[in-house]
Every structure is written in C-alpha cells, then in structure tokens.
Chain A
Amino acid sequence: MQSILAVDDSPSMRKMVSFTLSGAGYHVVEAVDGQDALEKAQSHEIDLVLADQNMPRLDGIGLTRKLREDPKFKTIPILILTTESSDQMKQAGRAAGATGWLVKPFDPNRLIEVIKKVIR
C-alpha cells in the first residue's frame, strides 16, 4: 500500500484529505505543519507528499525545499495545495522542487485523479 504524507494545519482539511485518500486505498500519514511533516517523513515510508502552502512554523514551499535537500526525498512527488494559483506561488513552488500544485477548494475526485497521475 502506498503512503501519502498529508500536511495541513487545518484539521478539517486534513480529515477531508485523509478520508478521501484512505477511501482510494492509500495509507495516509497526517502532519499538522511543515515542521511536523519533516519529522513524520523521517519516521515513515512516504511515497508522496501533499502539502498545504500556508501553514505556521514551516510552509509548503519551505517543506518542499527541505525535503529535496535529503537524497531520500529527491524524487518523490510533492504536491502543493494552495488557495492562490498565483504565478509567484508557482514560481516559488517550482524553484523549491515541487512536482505540481493543486488549487483549493478542490473536489475529492479531482484530488485522487491528480494523485494517480504522479504516484508510482
């Protein structure tokens, strides 16, 4: 079973994402912010990271940058969830090494569709 690290500071969004992905047959590891995600990524086998952009302590792009520094996470897909699909955000995401982005709000079916495109 493939594992997805779902990172969001909002409990309701986290629950929604986690429920959706579990329902689609993925194992979900939840993290409450970027910092928490870094710790969880070290203690779990992770196949994909789905991170909210705007979070306390460490945001999605910051998390991506940190994860990419670690050879273990050089190639895994990292998707950024954001409410703003602004170009500045996209540029920053790309520069940090993110695989792609998904604009909030999103439909649960859309989330699975996007995940299936990138997870191996």
Chain B
Amino acid sequence: MAESYQEGSGAGADFDLSQFYQIFFEEAGENLDQMEHMLLDLDLEKADDEELNGIFRCAHSIKGGAATFGFSDVAELTHQMESLLDRLRRHELQPIPQMVDVLLESADASRSLLARHQAGAQDEAPSTASLVRRISELAAGMVPAPSAPVEPQAPPPPVAKVEPPAPAPAAVAAPSGLRSLHVRIGPLDRMEQAETIKELFRDIPGLGSIADLPCSDTNARLFAVETSSTDSDLLDLFTFHVAKEQVQITEAGSGAAALAAPADPDLAEGAVSNLPPGEAYGFFNNAPGAPAGAPVPAIQAIEPASAVTRIAPKPGAEAKAGSQSQMESTTIRVDVKKVDQLINLVGELVITQAMLAQNSLGLDSATHQQLLAGLADLDRNTRDLQESVMSIRMIPMSIVFSRFPRMLRDLANKLGKKVEMVTLGEATELDKGLVEKITDPLTHLVRNSGDHGIELPADRLAKGKPEHGTITLSASHQGGSIVIEVKDDGRGLSRDKILAKARERGMDVSDQMSDAEVWQLIFAPGFSTAEVVTDVSGRGVGMDVVKRNIAALNGTVEVDSSEGYGTKVSVRLPLTLAIMDGMSVGVGEEVYILPLSSVVESFQVNSEDVNTVAQGSQLVKVRDEYMPVIALEKIFQVPRFDLEKSSTIMVVVEAEGNRVALLVDELLGQHQVVVKNLESNYRKVPNVSGATILGDGRVALILDIGGLVRRARH
C-alpha cells in the first residue's frame, strides 16, 4: 500500500513509453510557449486568478508528463515552478518582477533540458540548481536584492548560472531556550533531499543539532532536532530544499507517535496534515464502485462535505479555456514534408488538367459531350482541391509575432529602456514558407526599433513623451499581398545624419532629395548612423540584408519616418510562393507570365503617345504620365518567324512604386500558375523570377517585374 511516489515513474515491463515522447515534447513546448506568453502579459499589480491558474496549469502539465515519461530534471524544475505558482494563485504571495524573471528563465532552462532529451544527448545536463534555489527563495517569501543593471556587452546565460550559496537568514537563531522537536520530511522523490536538511544544521552555526530517528514510511525521514529557532524560521529554511507540505514539525513527545506511524486512522480526524500522503492509489470506503474489501486508505474517517474546499473554475475561465481545448481536439499534426509533397502533386495535377483542357479544345462538343462534361468537373474539382491544399500551408502571423514580446523585454532590460509592444492582425495568415523566411528580417526590424528607435526613459520624458516607448507590429491583407508593419514612437530617422553619413561614404546625394529617397539610403550595404554600436544591433546584418531577403520573397520594404516622432517600416509580401495568379502574354512564338499583382492596365499602342528619347529608348505617355517602354522582344531576343506580326499591345506593370510599359504581341489570358524555381532546376536568368508549365506542356518564363523596372529606371 505504501508505495513510494517514485515507483510509478518510468516504463513498466510491458510498455515502451518512448513512443509517446514526441507527443510529450511538442505538448511541453506548447505549454512553455503559452506560459511564457501569459507571464509576459501578466499584470503584476492586479493579476487575476484566471491568468495565474493558466500559468500554473502549464507548469503542472509539464511536470506531470515529465515525471511520467522519466525526465526527472524537467520534472524537478517544473515542480519548483509549480510550487511558486501555486502559492501565487492561492494569493499567499504577491507576484513581483523577480518571480516573472525566474519563471521565464526556468521556462528557457526547461526548454533546453527537453531539447537535450529530444536529441538523446548523453552528456551532463546543465545544472538548474541555482534556478531551483531562486524559485524556492521566492516561494518562501524572500525577495532577493535587485541585481545590478546588466552591461550590454555581457548578457548572462539563461541557464547554468553559478551563484554564491544562499546566505542564511540572519534571524534564524533566537536567543530563547532550546526546544526538542521531531521533524518529519516526506514524502520525498529523492531521499537525499533529506540529507540537505541535515547539512543545514551543519552549515548554519547556532541553528542547533539534528539526529536521525527511525521512520515507518519508506519515502520519508524523521529527525530529532534541538534548536532555539521558531517553527516558522525552520520552515523557511527547510523550504529551500523541500516543499512546505513535505515538512511537519512537532514538539518531541507530543506528536511523535503520529509522525512515526502516520497511517493510524484515529489520528486522521481533525489533524489532516498528519495523514499519509504517500499512497500511489486508493479507494474511498463505501464510495460508488469501490471494490469490496479493497485496501482501505486512512481517509475513511474524514467527514465529507463540510470540510471540503470546493474547487470550481470561474465561469469566465471556462469560456476562455474552452476555445483552446476545442482547437486541440480538432487539429492533427502532420509533417511539413507531407504537406509539401501534397502541394507538389496538386501542382502536377493542375498542369495535367490544363493539358487535358487544352487538348480537348478541338473536340466536337456533340460527339464528346460526356468527356467534355467530365473535363469541366475535373477543372472545378482541381481548382477546389488546389485551394484547400494551399490553405493547409497557411499559418497565422501570431506564430512570428509571439516571439517578439519576450525578445523586446530582454532587450529593454539590457538597454535600460521601457518598451511596450502592441500587435495587430495576428490572425492574418501567410504561407508557412514565407513565415519562416520573414522571421529573421522582422526580428531585425523589431530589434532596430527597440535599440535605435526607442529612446531612454529619461530622454523620452525630457521630450514630453511617455516614459514607455511603444512598438506596434501589425499584419493585414491588402489585395493579393500581406503587409507587415513595424512601427515605433521613438526618435525617428534623422535626415541630416543620413545625408551626412552618405556623403562620408562617398554616395551620390543632394539636399534636394525627397524624404522617401533619403530613407532608401539606409538600405545601402553597411549603412548605419547609430552612434554607439551595441551587441543588440548595429553589427552583423544591416538593412541591406533585410531588403535583399524580402526582395527574394518577391516582397518590398518601405520606410516612413518623422524625426522625433518615430519610424514605420512596411514589408509587403505575396501570400504564397508556390502558386501565383498570372497573366500570360505572347511575344512571337513565346509565352511569358506576368504576376497579376503587378499588372496595372493594358492598352493598344497609339503611336502618337510613344516618344523615342536618347539612345533609342522609348517613353509612352499614359494619362499625362511618362513611363519607360520595354520591348520584351528585344530583352529576350525572341526570334520572329511571322514578320507580319509585331508588338502592338502595352501592359503597364508596377514594382517598388515605379511603373513601366511592357510591349507585347498579344494578351493570352489570366490563370493560376504553379511556380517552379528556375534557379534550382536550371540557372539564374536575368529578368526572370521563375517558370511554369503551360497546359500544352511548354515551359513559360515568369517575369521578374522588379528587375525589369530597375533596369528601365537606371
């Protein structure tokens, strides 16, 4: 009956628990993410029960799983976190920033411990002893002295921090006379924990003496203690090493019998804390469904109902948590590779379908009625299938945004700034491939805002701004694109500084340049106006890399700023990279695809509107605006077999805010094309961003409008 707490952990003889590890790792990762999120959102002044319960539950779940699956280091750390959180949610302690700090660090440490288990690492695990000690100090109600501001150059590692041993509280030894006590420690996960209690008496002069006593419980220890300290002082000390619930202190002689033989049911009544908490399972006597003659736990003597603490979740908590569990039960996890394979196959299907449609054009509709009807169905179903499959890859921007509050918090701490983060449009969905690639550039932009944009609190106050800087991250759909904005209310870009720096670097600039042109200068390689190079930003990648990475995703970056008021960086991206709405145009025998998102309009050329300027380049006037003309025939050196035909249609396209007119022979139609990477299948071709396979099996090139516009403008 009195099995130890530990015995249940690990795999049984017939069960291999390792098959559940992966689920547990993912689940624990989600719990840690959620805990971090909630900790960052926690309002220390008025933390509500719901939030605290939520955070507690995360730690609790991880602990339960880690213990079950045998990851004892994670279980121990999360157990400590849980103990602290338990006291918080019971309002026995007031939340303070140090608690949030240590819990965040512990979450990081748990994450790296889990990652080690996941990778099957055999080397020695990083020690979490100092974290455990800090948590138990805080849980015991001690407030550690605030740590000195951290130098920007030396960020402390989150784990394995070595700190001096805990100083013993000075007020332990009271001058009153010696008392003889019996102290029961248990149930314990590890019996050596009790040894640490003995060490306390050895390490702290004047605390008193301790000696072993026999104990009937296999997972508890009983000690005889002679001390002049009060029970609460002792308890405070012991709780550095064991949970408060694991300690029972009684005067020697009075309650010793109860401690030594705690299973005695007569003593249970009215003395709840003396009950044996150690059984691995038990049944309530006379409870519905309880087996007759089953092992009877000591609980039988307890009066029900009146003494019971009812644990009922608040109605609000139910509603909020409801959507979470709903989500859990209606989603499945799938390897991204499988989804990509599916997308590839659907892409092939789309091409095959287009080929069939093309081949059926010449068929007589009367004699092939059934076949044509079938093809029409195939067309519709293929399109639906394609849309559904593409939607699988779409994930919300919150995945990216969620990493920033933590990063900004650390950054603000490091720099001594006060920064608040606001996110808008987190539900906006974006292709997974894009999300992964946009994360780094966005991280850089957010860091820049925090490091260079937001001023120190004193400077902000001096300028009449609120002490807290605000960084706003927003995402929204605009047409076929997603626009992500990083906005701060910091010092803004300085036009003079940028121009001065540009001149210093020998760049061709003038005071007459528009603001937009000046802001574009920050995208030049190696350009930085930061006065102090910190380890946060200012080194490593610059805005040029950000711009290049975004351009590689067919996206654009724009900057808008006002000195003293802040900066806004807007990133515009296509929704997906795999499929694109295109307009096909014919030049000679060739077919080219223009991304529909960049097409503005098309018209029949009126020769009066075309002017030839220097070096034979042409300009066309469209509604009072002159724009360069690019003849695709010349750029791609398209051979002409039919000399009767010539390019008479212009398609106006726009990229990076500039427009050009493309000269083509004919407009063939609009359709969705499956984008194939030309670079990985062939080589990089100038002015071409990719290729696709047409319905008749031919390859058509997709034009790089950005490249064409730059070519015409320079």
Contacts and interface: CB of A to CB of B under 8 A. Distances in A.
Contacts of B8: 103-107, 110
Nearest to B82: A83
Contacts of B324: 56
A96 to B, nearest CB: 8
A100 B291 CA distance: 10
A98 interface: yes
Interface string B14-45: 11010110011001000000000000000000
B676 to A, nearest CB: 38
Contacts of B329: 32, 36
Contact of B313 (A32, A57, A88): A57
A100 B284 contact: yes
A20 to B, nearest CB: 6
B325 A10 contact: no
A54 B27 contact: no
B657 interface: no
Given A9-B325, A104-B8, A118 B283 contact: yes
A59 B646 CA distance: 76
A90 interface: yes
Nearest to B14: A109
Contact of A99 (B283, B313, B317): B283
B265 interface: no
A87 B67 contact: no
Interface string A9-52: 11111011001100100000000110110000000000010000
* Most chain A CB inside 10 Å of its own CB: which residue of B15, B289, B312: B289
Interface in B228-280: 245, 272-273, 275, 277-280
B290 A10 contact: no
A33 B290 CA distance: 23
B299 interface: yes
B63 interface: yes
Contacts of B312: 62
B282 interface: yes
A74 B276 CA distance: 29
Nearest to A99: B289
B325 A98 contact: no
A68 B705 CA distance: 69
Nearest to A16: B20
Nearest to B61: A10
Interface size class of A (residues with CB under 8 A): 35 or more
A32 B23 contact: no
Contacts of B20: 12, 15-16, 19
A114 to B, nearest CB: 5
Contacts of A94: 284, 287, 299, 302, 304
Contacts of A55: 57
A4 B617 CA distance: 80
Contact of A104 (B64, B277, B317): B64
Nearest to A94: B284
Interface in A67-106: 68, 74-79, 83-88, 90-95, 97-106
Interface string B133-148: 0000000000000000
Contacts, number: 195
A114 B609 CA distance: 90
Contact of B12 (A57, A98, A103, A109): A109
A108 B12 contact: yes
A33 B317 CA distance: 13
B539 interface: no
Nearest to A10: B61
A5 to B, nearest CB: 13
A106 B321 CA distance: 27
A20 B299 CA distance: 29
Interface string B662-704: 0000000000000000000000000000000000000000000
Given A105-B8, A110-B8, A86 B289 contact: no
Contacts of B27: 10-12
Contacts of B64: 10, 13, 83, 104-105
B322 to A, nearest CB: 6
B641 interface: no
A35 to B, nearest CB: 7
A92 B278 CA distance: 17
A61 interface: yes
Contact of B281 (A20, A54, A103): A103
B177 interface: no
A54 B63 contact: no
Contact of B60 (A83, A87, A118): A83
A76 B384 CA distance: 48
Nearest to A73: B288
Contacts of B15: 20, 23, 107-109
Contacts of A57: 313, 317-318, 321-322, 325
B291 to A, nearest CB: 5
The 3 lowest CB-CB distance pairs between A and B, nearest first, are A77-B289, A56-B321, A100-B283
Given A13-B64, A98-B284, A101-B281, 20 more contacts: A9-B57, A10-B65, A35-B322, A54-B61, A56-B54, A57-B317, A58-B318, A61-B311, A76-B289, A77-B290, A85-B277, A85-B280, A91-B302, A92-B310, A99-B290, A100-B287, A104-B67, A108-B17, A117-B283, A118-B294
21 contacts: A9-B325, A15-B20, A19-B20, A20-B15, A33-B321, A35-B325, A54-B60, A56-B57, A56-B321, A56-B325, A57-B325, A85-B277, A90-B284, A91-B272, A91-B308, A101-B281, A104-B8, A104-B67, A107-B7, A108-B15, A114-B281
